[in-house]
Structure 1
């Protein structure tokens, strides 16, 4: 196949734009309070899987306002809130579930792991004796179980 001069010139640009779009989808804005070690550990969990996070430390009152503005109810809160590609990621959500959310693109606010369950990413090693659920938060505020953790593999 012979490529035209225009195609030859545009191909590198198109490849660059595709890589840039993919990288953009793996960038999170994380909001937390200063000195929260489990939030730092969760960010490291994401970075180990190829995500890039920008962390902003906020006073607790401001962080709660961000959670409310995102459409989260208090019973869905955890210690940190992240934004990625139009979705909210609240708390210690495993990277596997974030990947699935971004692949499936459901009509939802995002995912949450309410509270801070032991064995969730950033909260110690996975603990089969302490299962927890990752919830999909719908736009009307209702939730559905997105996954049950810990998962094998």
Structure 2
């Protein structure tokens, strides 16, 4: 029995712990609908959806076996690719983009096609894996194939993410 309790605390507590991505720095005036296209086999996509829901997004979860076709039709540049694609207010969101970056996009309404966190960096919303955290960049892309840094995240000495605003 003691061994079972020890296993519970070792494995269950990290799962029950709050994510550093849970707190919001930006708020939208109303709940916003976002459609997420994901593979039925992807668990990190589901965790990213939960992250969005904690930030007052109303998520329409579209499970598909043909995600490549969705990305193709949407016009996601191959280099921006990740494991799921979302549509919100006319913008494309590719990968594990933090909710506050999506909110900033919706509040500022820049003339871009969307945002991406290419690939699947460890530590991003939905990709939390304990103490391991990758630095990562949120990239904006437009219809002409131009890319810009929208936001960057580094890890501090206490292993917490902090925002590094892009230099204008």
* Moved segments of 4+, more than 6 Å: none
Which protein is bigger by CA-based radius of gyration? 1
TM-score (norm 2): 0.71
What TM-score, normalized to structure 1? 0.78
Paired with 1:99 and 1:126, the residues of 2 have a C-alpha distance of: 26
Deviations 1:63-88 (A, max 9, x none): 11211222211111100000000000
Aligned length: 129
Q: Distance in 1 between matches of 2:57 and 2:133?
A: 29
Among 30, 34, 44, the alignment partner of 1:28 is 34
1:2-151 to structure 2, matched below 5 A, reads 22-23=30-31, 26-59=32-65, 62-124=66-128, 130-150=134-154, 151=161
Pairwise CA RMSD? 1.9
Gaps of 5+ in 2: 1-28, 155-160, 164-168
Q: Which runs of 5+ in 1 are unaligned?
A: 1-20
What is the CA deviation profile of residues 10-38 of structure 1, one whole-angstrom value per residue up to 9, with x for unaligned ones?
xxxxxxxxxxx933xx1110000002100
